[in-house]
Amino acid sequence: MIGTGKRYIAVVLPLKLGWTPYYEVLPEDNVSRGDWVRTVFANREYTGIVYRTDVTPDAAPEKIKPILSVERHLSPVSGNEIRLWEMVADYYLCTIGEVFKAAYPSMKISEEQALARARERENARRQKLLATLDLRMHRLEERLEKKKEKLSSATGKPSSRKDSARLQDDIVRMEQMISETRLKIDEITSGAGLQPACGTSGTVRDCIVLNEAQRNAFTEITGTFRDGKPALLKGITGSGKTEIYLELARETVMAGRNVLYLVPEIAMSRQLGDRVRNMFGDLLLTFHSGESTAARRDTAEAVRSCVAGGRTYIVLGTRSAIFLPHNNLGLIIVDEEHDSSYKQESPAPRYNGRDAAVMLARIHGCNIILGSATPSLESVFNCRCGKYRMSVLDRRYYAAEDAEVRIIDTAAERRKGGMTGSFSRKLTAQMAQTLANGEQILIFRARRAFSPVLQCPGCGEIIKCPHCNVSLSYHRAPDRMTCHHCGYSAPFTPECPECGTRLQGLGSGTQKIEEETALLFPEARIARLDSDTPKAQARQIISDFSSGKTDILIGTQIISKGFDFPGLTLAAVISADSLLGVQDFRADEKALQILEQIRGRCGRRDRRGCFIIQTYQPEHPVYRHLSEGSSETLYSALLDERRQFGYPPFTRIVNITVKSGVEEKAESSARTVAETLEECLGHPGSENGHETVSSPFSPPIDKIAGLYIRTIRVTLRKDRQLTASKRLLAAKVDELDRKLRHFCQITADVDPE
Ligand code: ADP
Ligand code: ZN
């Protein structure tokens, strides 16, 4: 600042910019960090956030443009929010602008402004009204005072008995008017009818009476909090984890602090929503990606108004709820912390909501609890090395035993002629018994559609998606061929396009399982639930099954999540091996988690459930673990394997993805990327190398939506070099992206799922 009076600021724009552009402001603009400003960048108008004030421009000052305006009607972004953006950008190798965009996705300026203006008008009206009421109150009080004085001087004088009575009448009337005015003022200042309601702590339900195991875990967890560590609660389904979360949340709210309750998907929190609402009433705010932008903005506004009004709130939301304008957070709960839905795949920031929540807790200095029946290896590892602390609940709340696991060797059954389509004789016998008992059945199959593959028996041709390198699935009713990766869909043509032979469906998806089930049990009431099911219908299907209106529910992973089905005593997995099949170091861990979740669904309360797994690999450790119930040993084995092969959590993986519409460009660009990264990071073959850069490889599906995909896996050691290596990697990827932009897209994914 050379006494010109000109000042410069750095602004975060909702763009993928590796830097924050500078703008000129006037001293009287009086901007601070977090303020919203309108600017022009590359000939387009953007609304951005003041990131730093009083910066010294490194370019010629005359080249720096002035801002267009300061958007005073928008509430400033807090320092804590910006801190989170920085941490997320830093960790996930993206730009702060990309995180800003994720945090404020609906910043369609005009819309936002219209809303803000309406709010302003409403506020102005309120303020005027308040001022009038205030004045009236003041006058009334003054007059009341005078009347009271008169009354006291009049008492005792016999001449003025009539006067006294009148005065007393007046006083009563005035007191009533005063109290009415006060009520009106209270109504206005509490914002009734204006903001989405946000109650006071007075409405919280009474505390929960925990049983002994829960009490012990609870005490342990509060101890962990006192030591300033994240707590991990490992507890089988039905052990009462949720009740512990709710009790922790209740204590937090009673202490006047706010709570963020994260769930992987809102679908499963539907039942949870009722439980939280029962306890917290109108303190509850929900937030998820499925809601309209307007509803999301209302929640953000409600959070802000709670903060401003000193009221407490509990937000129940999916991962992006971490970006709400939180303040005074006392507790974060991360339910089903292992769930891969916490990971945002695209676009950047490709963050894991669980890990970002840990960052958020650190920023706010608040407590955080992660919970799961099947914690992620990462979190278990963090406990083993002392970063987190684990508490365990290993008994169900309602004393029912864990479901009995029966592994059925499908190959052996087939040899004995014991298979009818997808079903083994043992399974159908168990199903018949269950139905006869008036109990319910859950059938899990990892693939939707009727047949996942269509093949020509004449020439061997497999029908593929025209845009992706995957086979099309055959769907019934209506008959269509659909791609599960890009959404392509076409009417089913029964003849092979090459030789005209009638096509054959291979494999059985949920639709076929449904058909087979109906043939086997024509009397049973059957429903199917997968991502082909329309949302509104899904809710009905769940509630029908919960209340016993259907006997058998068939579905994909959706049915494994967090539902409480009291009448369910048999769960079965058809073709379980499809869960293991993928060439991915996390496959076994994921398979175990899904299977444990399904098992947890059945035999709650007083009845012991039965869990049947049909497999071609009955000796597989994942199944053995399930039937022998040795989770500690399996976790140890999986961790050993990860250590041995240098996989996370012992290393950190960053996948660099190169995509191009031209296969040759994807290929050659990926080679350039791999070579460049290896040059600057890798020390192939060297013992003390810190990183490994793989050669480019094709992922299992190497073409999606017309883009050819190659991946380079960078494995970073978790040592003192880690931060430096990551920075270097980020800089190189950015450089490569700019260099190769015309040929391909390059993205970095830290901690890929
Ligand atoms: P989880 O979250 O571990 O699956 P829940 O918290 O849903 O387990 O508890 C399972 C069942 O037990 C629920 O129906 C719940 O209401 C009940 N329950 C758990 N703890 C208590 C408690 N302390 N008092 C009353 N009911 C409880
Ligand atoms: Zn496709």
Same-domain pairing of 534 and 430 = yes
On whether both 413 and 353 belong to a single domain, the answer is: no
Q: How far is the CA of 482 from the centre of ligand 2 (A)?
A: 8
Instruction: Convert the pLDDT of each residue in 606-652 to its tens digit.
Output: 778 999 999 999 999 889 888 887 677 788 888 998 999 889 999 99
**Do 31 and 155 lie in a common domain?**
no
Residues 619, 677: one domain?
A: no
pTM to 2 decimal places: 0.84
| Measured distance CA(639)–CA(373) in Å, rounded | 17
* 241 pocket-lining for ligand 1 (C-beta < 6 Å): yes
CA-CA distance, 689 to 684, in Å (whole number)?
A: 7
Report the separation in Å between the CA atom of 489 and the middle of ligand 2, taken as the mean of its atom positions.
Answer: 8
Ligand at minimal distance from the CA of 371 is 1
Which atom from ligand 1 is nearest to the alpha carbon of 236?
Answer: 3
* Ligand 1 neighbour 238 (Cβ under 6 A): yes
Ligand nearest to the CA of 241: 1
The predicted pLDDT at position 433 comes to 96
Residue 114: per-residue pLDDT? 61
**In terms of residue numbers, what domain contains 639?**
404-450+508-643
Closest C-alpha residue for ligand 1 atom 6: 240
Do 97 and 85 meet the contact criterion of CB atoms below 8 Å apart?
no
Residue of the CA atom closest to atom 20 of ligand 1: 240
Residue 397 Cβ contacting ligand 1 at under 6 Å: yes
Please state the domain count of the chain. Answer: 5
Do 343 and 234 reside in the same domain of the chain?
yes
**Binding site membership of 235 for ligand 1 (Cβ less than 6 Å):** yes
Domain boundary pick from 162, 190, 218 = 190
Structural domain contains residue 481: no
**Region for residue 477 given its phi and psi (left: phi exceeds 0; alpha: psi -120 to 50; beta: otherwise):** left
Task: Tell me how far the alpha carbon of residue 264 lies from the centroid of ligand 1, in angstroms.
Answer: 19
Ligand nearest to the CA of 563: 1
Q: Please state the atom number of ligand 1 nearest to the C-alpha of residue 214.
A: 23
**Nearest CA, atom 11, ligand 1:** 238
Query: Which is it for the CA torsion 615, 617, 622, 624, positive or negative?
Result: positive
What is the pLDDT at residue 271?
Answer: 73
pLDDT of residue 634: 81
pLDDT of residue 4: 58
Residue 208 inside a domain? The answer is: yes
* Calpha distance 86→328 (Å, rounded): 20
CB of 372 shorter than 6 A to ligand 1: no
Q: How far is the CA of 706 from the centre of ligand 2 (A)?
A: 8
Residue 474 lies in a domain: no
| Burial of residue 229, with CB atoms counted within 10 A of its CB: 0-12 exposed, 13-18 middle, 19 or more buried | middle
Nearest listed ligand to the Cα of residue 394: 1
Please indicate, yes or no, if residue 418 is contained in any of the structural domains.
Answer: yes
Ligand 1 within 6 A of 375 CB? Answer: no
Identify which ligand lies nearest to the alpha carbon of 278: 1
Q: Are residues 615 and 512 in the same domain?
A: yes
- The label of the residue with tokens 């880690």 reads 722
Helix/strand/coil (H/E/C) assignment for every residue in 158-223: HHHHHHHHHHHHHHHHHHHHHHHHHHHHHHHHCCCCCCCCCCCHHHCCCCCCCCHHHHHHHHHHHH
Q: What is the pLDDT of residue 117?
A: 61
Q: How far is the C-alpha of 446 from the C-alpha of 449, rounded, in Å?
A: 10
Nearest residue by C-alpha to atom 15 in ligand 1: 240
Distance 723 CA to ligand 2 centre (A): 38
Whether residues 280 and 324 share a domain: the answer is yes
178 with 246, same domain: the answer is no
Domain check: are 639 and 656 in the same one? Answer: no
Here the tokens at position 740 are 């190769």
Quick check: CB of 237 below 6 Å from ligand 1?
A: yes
Ligand 1: atom nearest CA of 239 is 3
Residue 195 covered by a domain: no
Is 470 part of any domain?
no
Q: Is residue 459 part of a domain?
A: no
> For atom 14 of ligand 1, which residue has the closest CA?
238
The residue ranges of the chain whose pLDDT is under 50 are 1-2, 109-110, 192-202, 269, 684-688
C-alpha torsion sign, points 423, 424, 429, 434: negative
Whole-number Å distance, alpha carbon 273 to ligand 1 midpoint, is 15
Give the residue carrying structure tokens 């914002």: 191
Domain containing 359 — which CATH number? 3.40.50.300
For residue 84, give Cα distances in angstroms to 101, 349, 564.
13, 12, 35
User: Partners of 653 in the beta sheet?
Assistant: 715
Q: Among 397, 568, 604, which residue has the most ligand 1 atoms within 8 Å of its CB, making it the best to mutate? A: 397
From the CA of 56, how far away is ligand 2's center (Å)? 50
Give CA–CA dist 344/486, Å, rounded. 18
What is the end-to-end Cα distance of the chain in Å, rounded? 48
Q: Is residue 174 part of a domain?
A: yes
Among residues 190, 216, 246, the one where a domain terminates is: 190
Q: Give the ligand with the smallest distance to the CA of 704.
A: 2
The single-letter DSSP state of residue 322 is: G
Largest CA distance in the chain: 120
604, 622, 643: which is the final residue of a domain?
643
Indicate which CATH number applies to the domain containing 679: 3.30.70.600
